[in-house]
């Protein structure tokens, strides 16, 4: 245990805790109203939205899992994250303003709110809400894993015996802090902390990208070492793609890009901004984060060249803490691990808030307490967010770590199945609600079976993200999420006319075309002096 | 109510946003080691470059159409 590193770590953690509590006072609103707690009253301008979205898109997956995958498996499993993070932004620009506009116009807080009105179907809304909550859980668990890894890097033992029971004390403390301030401040807490987090991450990133390559002699020697590893491990590690891997790469990219913006926490981030302009500006500015991600991916390769071995107990995912410990003085490692841990806390907070919004609006109010007061609504949301965090905590404590990274792609498989009602629904209401339900169900079942195929057949203890589909003599290896969603879409398209014919018609669309095109809100105060001449 | 007629005429600009998809989703365009840049193989630096290009395209579309 290195006390100087731990001291620095604790200092920054305390700073962040204090900021979290102060956040309750920022841009004041009545936190008992759900759109204040859950969306910060939709008041965030461009800069804050940038930090929040970036803060919540760039998670422990980015700085632990991607470099870990690069280190252990190479380009296919690790680097797809770069084009994925690039293509997300044109998608945001194309789809998000429409989504923001209709949600603002109609007062929707979640995707399920939108779907219920658009397709006139409570069942489809329920399914969208359920999927959103389900898909977020493994993602939250992943963030907790990131915190655990960062704390382990400090040398703090993960298992402390309290009364004969083995307890992961550091992780539980981190959780209590997170739970406490998101409970009181809602979305404002992660937004304020996201600012701090990003500054810290930028500093660590610059240190890593500049100091380590210099000490290794530049990128040339780094990539030579990587190539040597590929030559030595031709079946398991790749430094460039082979043609049979192209479909896998392509589908991982496109699947992850669409999945990202279907997650409740991304939609929450978008809906909390003050205008479509802020949303669009962010689409142009957020790519800076993608550049960070790309450079962070190289960290996994740097570790290969530096001949560093991963921290024990986390597989390849232990490589980033190991490299940080190798390359930097002890006090700076405290700062770096604090950056990573805080970096995981922010998205975990936003994700749990978003999933809580979904549960409250689309399950609690819809089915449990129809006449809930606003206070009851926000109370339910706060409680749910707490429960989800503890659920994710249990996940981390009891699930073997080899699987946890793959859980993000598993979440992707599930959330992708909501693409037809949520995304396509922004442009057309042609789909029949029964067809939507069947398509969703088929996609969920097939996608889940593909992911668990290794466990089911006993051939692998890990989840299978790139599934080799074999039909007759034809075989294709592609992301299971894409394969499942293609089936989903095909079924919806085929079944919609079928259901229409047998009289099981579409629901009533409660939205109107002008809802989607709101542009900038026109201030009514200015109109009056104009009218007066 | 709040329609903006000048936006409709500019929606063809959105097609520019398809360019990054076409380029990045076709690995045969960039699956090479050479030419390298400061020791980084082409496959890698090309994709990093496209982060910047995509951001520029998105910014241009924003300013031209908004």
- Look up the ipTM and state it: 0.87
Residue located via tokens 């380009």: A75
Q: What's residue A527's pLDDT? A: 32
Would the CB atoms of A283 and B48 count as touching at under 8 Å?
no
DSSP string, A76-92: HHHHTHHHHHHHHHHHH
CA A197 from chain center: how many Å? Answer: 16
Q: What's residue A384's pLDDT? A: 87
Q: How many domains does chain B have?
A: 1
Residue A60 binned pLDDT confidence (cut-offs 50, 70, 90): confident
Contact residues on chain B for A521, CB-CB shorter than 8 A? 2
Give the tokens for residue A454. 């290794």
Q: What's residue A532's pLDDT? A: 32
Give the tokens for residue A451. 């992911």
Q: What's residue A189's pLDDT? A: 64
Is residue A431's pLDDT more than 80? yes
Q: Do the beta carbons of residue A93 and residue B62 sit within 8 Å?
A: yes
Would the CB atoms of B54 and A517 count as touching at under 8 Å?
no
Range 121-160 of A in CB contact (< 8 A) with B: none
Give the tokens for residue B27. 């690995």
Residue B50 binned pLDDT confidence (cut-offs 50, 70, 90): very high
Query: What's the mean pLDDT when you consider all of chain A?
Result: 81
Distance from C-alpha of A335 to C-alpha of A324, rounded to nearest angstrom: 10
Residue located via tokens 């193989």: B41
Structural class in CATH, domain A3-408: mainly alpha
How many other CB atoms sit within 10 Å of the CB of residue A156? 20
Q: How far is B6 from chain A (nearest CA, A)?
A: 11
Tens digits of residue pLDDT in A366-380: 888 888 888 888 888
Q: How far is A222 from chain B (nearest CA, A)?
A: 8
Buried b (16+ CB within 10 A) or exposed e, A398-435: eeeeeebbbbbbbbbbbbbbbbbbbbbbbeebebbbbb
Contact residues on chain B for A277, CB-CB shorter than 8 A? 66
Would the CB atoms of A87 and B54 count as touching at under 8 Å?
yes
Contact residues on chain B for A298, CB-CB shorter than 8 A? 44
More confident: A37 or A351? A351
Residue of A nearest to B16 (CA): A90
Range 89-108 of A in CB contact (< 8 A) with B: 89-90, 93-94
Residue A525 binned pLDDT confidence (cut-offs 50, 70, 90): very low
Q: What's residue B2's pLDDT? A: 43
Distance from C-alpha of A376 to C-alpha of A365, rounded to nearest angstrom: 9
Give the tokens for residue A197. 């987090």
Would the CB atoms of B55 and A277 count as touching at under 8 Å?
no
Residue A455 binned pLDDT confidence (cut-offs 50, 70, 90): confident
Q: What's residue A27's pLDDT? A: 55
Is residue B23's pLDDT more than 50? yes
Tens digits of residue pLDDT in A114-124: 999 999 889 99
Residue A402 binned pLDDT confidence (cut-offs 50, 70, 90): low
Residue A524 binned pLDDT confidence (cut-offs 50, 70, 90): very low
Q: What's residue A531's pLDDT? A: 33
Tens digits of residue pLDDT in A129-174: 999 998 988 888 888 788 878 888 888 766 666 666 666 666 776 6
Q: With DSSP H G I counted as helix, E B as strand and the rest as coil, what are the percentages for chain A, rounded to 5?
A: 75, 5, 20
Contact residues on chain A for B14, CB-CB shorter than 8 A? 93-94
Contact residues on chain A for B29, CB-CB shorter than 8 A? none
Q: What's residue B1's pLDDT? A: 41
Q: What's residue A227's pLDDT? A: 93
Tens digits of residue pLDDT in A228-255: 999 998 888 898 998 889 999 999 999 9
B29/A contact by beta carbon, under 8 A: no
B41/A contact by beta carbon, under 8 A: yes
Domain that holds residue B42: 15-65
* Residue A243 exposed, middle or buried by CB count within 10 Å (0-12, 13-18, 19+): exposed
CA A14, A16, A20, A23 dihedral sign is: positive
Residue A421 binned pLDDT confidence (cut-offs 50, 70, 90): very high
More confident: B66 or A318? A318
Tens digits of residue pLDDT in A194-236: 777 878 888 888 898 888 999 888 999 999 999 999 999 888 8
Would the CB atoms of A90 and B27 count as touching at under 8 Å?
no
Q: What's residue A523's pLDDT? A: 35
Residue at B10 is within a domain: no
- Which range has the worst mean pLDDT, A199-203, A266-270, A304-308, A365-369? A266-270
Residue A300 has φ and ψ, to the nearest 5°, of -60, -40
Half-sphere exposure of A513 (CA within 13 A, CB side): 2
Residue at B55 is within a domain: yes
Distance from C-alpha of A449 to C-alpha of A153, rounded to nearest angstrom: 35
A485/B contact by beta carbon, under 8 A: no
- What are the residue ranges of helices labelled H in A169-263? 169-185, 188-216, 219-232, 246-262
Would the CB atoms of A90 and B66 count as touching at under 8 Å?
no
Q: What's residue B45's pLDDT? A: 94
Distance from C-alpha of A491 to C-alpha of A305, rounded to nearest angstrom: 49
* Residue A235 exposed, middle or buried by CB count within 10 Å (0-12, 13-18, 19+): exposed
Query: What average pLDDT does range A426-450 have in this prediction?
Result: 93
Contacts 24+ apart (CB under 8 A), B17-22: B17/A90, B17/A93, B17/A94, B17/B57, B17/B58, B17/B61, B18/A90, B19/B57, B20/A86, B20/A87, B20/A90, B20/B50, B20/B53, B20/B54, B20/B57, B21/A87, B21/A90
Residue at B46 is within a domain: yes
Is residue A323's pLDDT more than 50? yes
B57/A contact by beta carbon, under 8 A: yes
Query: What average pLDDT does range A484-489 have in this prediction?
Result: 95
Residue of B17, B32, B44 to mutate for A, most A C-beta atoms under 10 A:
B44
Q: Do the beta carbons of residue A346 and residue A201 sit within 8 Å?
A: no
Q: Is the pTM of this model over 0.90?
A: no
Q: What's residue B14's pLDDT? A: 81
CB pairs under 8 A between A and B: 112
Cα Rg, chain A, nearest whole Å? 23
More confident: B30 or A92? B30
Contact residues on chain B for A519, CB-CB shorter than 8 A? 2-4, 7
E strand or H helix at A104: helix A81-106
Q: What are the structural domain ranges in chain A?
A: 3-408
Contact residues on chain B for A515, CB-CB shorter than 8 A? none
More confident: A521 or A257? A257
Percent of chain A with pLDDT strictly greater than 70: 80
Contact residues on chain B for A94, CB-CB shorter than 8 A? 14, 17
Is residue A453's pLDDT more than 50? yes
Is residue B5's pLDDT more than 60? no
Range 288-317 of A in CB contact (< 8 A) with B: 288, 290-291, 294-295, 298
Averaging pLDDT over each range in A43-57, A158-172, B33-47, which range is the top one?
Answer: B33-47
Residue B51 is nearest to which of A249, A287, A517, comparing CB atoms? A287
CA A183, A383, A415, A141 dihedral sign is: positive
Is residue A521's pLDDT more than 50? no
More confident: A525 or A54? A54
Distance from C-alpha of A160 to C-alpha of A171, rounded to nearest angstrom: 11
Residue at B21 is within a domain: yes
């Amino acid at each position: 245990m290195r006390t100087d590193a731990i001291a620095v770590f604790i200092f920054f953690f305390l700073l962040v805790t204090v900021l979290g509590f102060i956040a309750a006072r920022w841009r004041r609103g009545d936190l008992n109203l759900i759109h204040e707690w859950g969306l910060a009253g939709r008041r965030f301008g461009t800069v804050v939205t940038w930090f929040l979205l970036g803060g919540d898109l760039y998670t422990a997956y980015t700085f632990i899992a991607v470099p870990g995958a690069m280190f252990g498996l190479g380009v296919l499993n690790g680097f797809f994250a770069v084009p994925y993070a690039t293509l997300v932004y044109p998608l945001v620009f194309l789809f998000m303003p429409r989504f923001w506009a209709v949600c603002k116009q109609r007062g929707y807080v979640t995707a399920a709110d939108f779907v219920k009105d658009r397709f006139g179907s409570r069942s489809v809304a329920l399914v969208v809400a359920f999927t959103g909550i389900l898909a977020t859980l493994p993602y939250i668990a992943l963030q907790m894993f990131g915190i655990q890894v960062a704390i382990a890097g400090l040398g703090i033992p993960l298992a402390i015996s309290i009364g004969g029971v083995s307890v992961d004390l550091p992780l539980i403390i981190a959780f209590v802090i997170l739970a406490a301030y998101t409970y009181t401040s809602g979305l404002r807490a992660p937004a304020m902390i996201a600012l701090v987090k990003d500054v810290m991450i930028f500093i660590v990133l610059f240190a890593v990208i500049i100091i380590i390559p210099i000490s290794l002699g530049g990128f040339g020697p780094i990539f030579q070492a990587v190539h040597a590893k590929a030559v030595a491990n031709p079946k398991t590690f790749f430094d460039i793609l082979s043609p049979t891997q192209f479909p896998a790469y392509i589908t991982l990219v496109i699947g992850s890009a669409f999945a990202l913006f279907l997650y409740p926490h991304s939609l929450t981030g978008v809906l909390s901004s003050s205008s479509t302009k802020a949303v669009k500006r962010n689409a142009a500015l957020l790519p800076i984060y993608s550049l960070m991600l790309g450079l962070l991916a190289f960290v996994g390769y740097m570790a290969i060249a530096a001949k560093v071995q991963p921290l024990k107990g986390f597989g390849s995912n232990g490589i980033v803490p190991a490299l940080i410990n190798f390359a930097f003085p002890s006090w700076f490692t405290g700062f770096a691990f604090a950056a990573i841990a805080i970096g995981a806390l922010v998205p975990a907070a936003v994700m749990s808030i978003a999933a809580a919004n979904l549960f409250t609006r689309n399950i609690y109010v819809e089915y449990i307490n129809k006449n809930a007061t606003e206070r009851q609504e926000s109370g339910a949301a706060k409680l749910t967010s707490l429960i989800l965090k503890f659920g994710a905590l249990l996940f981390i404590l009891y699930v073997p770590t080899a699987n946890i990274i793959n859980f993000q792609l598993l979440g992707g498989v599930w959330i992708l199945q909501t693409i037809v009602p949520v995304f396509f629904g922004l442009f057309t209401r042609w789909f029949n609600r029964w067809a939507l339900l069947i398509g969703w169900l088929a996609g969920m079942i097939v996608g889940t079976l593909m992911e668990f195929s290794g466990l089911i057949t006993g051939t692998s203890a890990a989840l299978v993200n790139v599934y080799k589909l074999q039909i007759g003599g034809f075989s294709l290896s592609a992301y299971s999420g894409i394969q499942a969603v293609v089936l989903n879409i095909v079924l919806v398209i085929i079944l919609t006319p079928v259901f229409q014919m047998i009289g099981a018609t579409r629901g009533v669309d409660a939205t109107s075309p002008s809802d989607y095109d709101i542009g900038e809100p026109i201030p009514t105060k200015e109109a009056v002096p104009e009218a007066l001449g | 109510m709040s329609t903006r007629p000048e936006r409709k005429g500019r929606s063809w600009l959105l097609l520019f946003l398809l360019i990054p998809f076409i380029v990045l989703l076709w690995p045969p365009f960039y699956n090479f080691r050479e030419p390298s840049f400061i020791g980084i193989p082409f496959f890698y630096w090309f994709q990093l470059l496209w982060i910047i290009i995509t951001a520029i395209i998105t910014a241009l579309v924003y300013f031209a159409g908004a």
